[in-house]
Amino acid sequence: MSTLSQWRLRAAFADRLSKMYGREVPAYTTLVDVSREVNEDVLRAQGADAERLGSISRVTAERHGAIRVGTPRELQQVGRVFAALGMHPVGFYDLREAATSAVPVVSTAFRPVEREELARNPFRVFTSMLTPADPRFFDPDLRARLEAFLAGRELFPPELLALADRAAAERELPQEDAERFLQLAVEAFELSPEPVDRSWYRALERISAVAADIGGVRSTHINHLTPRVLDIDELYRRMTERGIEMIDTIQGPPAWRGPDVLLRQTSFRALAEPRAMRTPDGSVISGALRVRFGEVEARGIALTREGRARYDNLLGLVDERSAQSPGEARADIARTVWEQHMPDTEQELAAQGLAYFTYRVAADRPRDGSPPPNSVSELVRQGRVRAEPIVYEDFLPRSAAGIFQSNLGSEGTRDNEQQGAAYDADWLSGAVGRDVLDPYALYEQQQNRSLAQVASELGHDGA
């Protein structure tokens, strides 16, 4: 009997989720179609250069999802579902700390970590967990009601979890079990038709629309799915031309003359979806909620800690200058700041240790018997070694906070007189029951492996 390996399960899950979400939120399908068109145009215009940060087949299938759960137990369970798909928790994001748009969640991203697995299918899910214990958001009474409500619901049926554990242990599932697993897994993220208790939902909404979306209902659902596009500025124009209302900005680095780095994202506004509501007298009426949307992203080169520190500084600088000249477009200010402070070639990013690359010896390298120089950048300059950028596979907390907030009706409330509850990466590891991996360590490992290989091959040249 045939079996499905983990990566095929992951690819099939991403694909089915995408079809399901397309049925639920038709504007998402438009976004996927326009992304595909833009990608085809970029490929036609740029040829092989368009594939420098991932093959076109990878990019075309590439999606990230966002989901939100309520408790450590639910997080641990969803972690089991993702483990079945070869996806591991990477990175810790604290969205409670955002200055302008705090959201009562802490998050991680489940994703493949090995280079080959990423190349096969890089599906990732930004996963947020509500923080009822944070007194800046929830008073003791609301916290108690919320925790009781969450304790009484079941997001993932035992049959799904049992199949997930088997897939994780055996790294594959027989065809029939795979089918059942995929069906249950997709179902777990569908929007439930069950009526929403209106007064409970509204009570949470006063704190945060995200709190209501998570803790106001008895099931979870995919919040958005995000295709990857090779030219996000062009995509933004085309979506706007089609009359789809996008949020005001593209989050992340500006459009500029240098290489794409990290992540640029934008989205269309959350749409009103019909949802049945139960009113206090027990009757069910038809209502509408606005929480789900479509997002699109362009991915660039992964930055090192130093590169990231530079990025964060530049963000601060752009904020300052924007505050000083409110008449000027933020995107123009950002471009100027970047052109002043960020190296505008891959070579310089590498030479200054700001971005991650893999290195390989050039097949057509000069072999004149001279000893190789000590520095990698010198080897690259001499054409003995080639550098290829490592694509950024993770998220940006400020963009994430912006994405959360720009799609919510109200700002919500945070009481800054209170001390926040402590949640950090270690705490999250404990909650998921797996190590939350450090993204920098993963990129560095990949870079170092390639360097070790280069050293050994060039060693042979000299011999």
Q: List contacts with ligand OOG (CB under 6 A).
A: 66, 68, 126, 128, 223, 265, 295, 395, 399-400, 403-404
Q: Write 362-365 long-range contacts (CB < 8 A, 24+).
A: 362/386, 365/461
Q: Looking at beta carbons only, is 223 or 358 nearer to ligand OOG?
A: 223
Q: Looking at beta carbons only, is 6 or 405 nearer to ligand OOG?
A: 405
Q: Looking at beta carbons only, is 83 or 396 nearer to ligand OOG?
A: 396
Q: Looking at beta carbons only, is 78 or 454 nearer to ligand OOG?
A: 78
We find the least distance from the C-beta atom of residue 97 to ligand OOG, in angstroms, to be: 14
We find the least distance from the C-beta atom of residue 267 to Ni ion, in angstroms, to be: 8
The pair of structure tokens assigned to 245 is 């209302």
Neighbours of 392 (CB within 10 A): 23
The answer to whether 178 and 378 are in contact (CB under 8 A) is: no
SS3 assignment, position 365 = coil
Residue ranges of E strands in 198-354: 224-227, 263-278, 284-299
Tell me if 66 contacts Ni ion by CB under 5 A.
Answer: yes
Among Ni ion, ligand OOG, none, what binds residue 101 when CB lies within 5 to 8 Å by partner kind?
none
Using CA of residue 418, residue 424, residue 426, residue 428, what is the dihedral sign? positive
Q: Looking at beta carbons only, is 74 or 295 nearer to ligand OOG?
A: 295
Q: Which amino acid is at 279?
A: T
Among Ni ion, ligand OOG, none, what binds residue 128 when CB lies within 5 to 8 Å by partner kind?
ligand OOG
We find the least distance from the C-beta atom of residue 210 to ligand OOG, in angstroms, to be: 7
Q: Looking at beta carbons only, is 208 or 304 nearer to ligand OOG?
A: 208
SS3 assignment, position 410 = coil
Q: Is 227 exposed, middle or buried (0-12, 13-18, 19+ CB in 10 A)?
A: buried
Between CA 402 and CA 406 the distance in angstroms is 6
37: left (phi over 0), alpha (psi -120 to 50) or beta: alpha
Among ligand OOG, Ni ion, none, what binds residue 68 when CB lies within 5 to 8 Å by partner kind?
ligand OOG
Residue 16: which residues within 8 A CB-CB, separation 6 or more?
182, 186
Among ligand OOG, Ni ion, none, what binds residue 399 when CB lies within 5 to 8 Å by partner kind?
ligand OOG
Among ligand OOG, Ni ion, none, what binds residue 293 when CB lies within 5 to 8 Å by partner kind?
none
Q: Which of 289, 438, 286, 455 is nearest to 374 (CA)?
A: 455
We find the least distance from the C-beta atom of residue 111 to Ni ion, in angstroms, to be: 13
We find the least distance from the C-beta atom of residue 66 to ligand OOG, in angstroms, to be: 4
We find the least distance from the C-beta atom of residue 207 to Ni ion, in angstroms, to be: 22
Q: Looking at beta carbons only, is 356 or 395 nearer to ligand OOG?
A: 395
Q: Looking at beta carbons only, is 163 or 271 nearer to ligand OOG?
A: 271
Between CA 453 and CA 463 the distance in angstroms is 16
Stretch (H or E) spanning 312: helix 305-324
Among ligand OOG, Ni ion, none, what binds residue 302 when CB lies within 5 to 8 Å by partner kind?
none
User: Which of the stretches 51-59, 293-301, 302-310, 452-460 binds Ni ion when contact is defined by CB under 5 A?
Assistant: 293-301
Between CA 85 and CA 17 the distance in angstroms is 13
Between CA 235 and CA 7 the distance in angstroms is 29
Among ligand OOG, Ni ion, none, what binds residue 156 when CB lies within 5 to 8 Å by partner kind?
none
We find the least distance from the C-beta atom of residue 124 to ligand OOG, in angstroms, to be: 9
We find the least distance from the C-beta atom of residue 358 to ligand OOG, in angstroms, to be: 25
User: Among all residues, whose Cβ is closest to ligand OOG?
Assistant: 400
Q: Looking at beta carbons only, is 66 or 168 nearer to ligand OOG?
A: 66
Between CA 346 and CA 357 the distance in angstroms is 9
Contact residues: Ni ion, CB under 5 A: 66, 226, 295
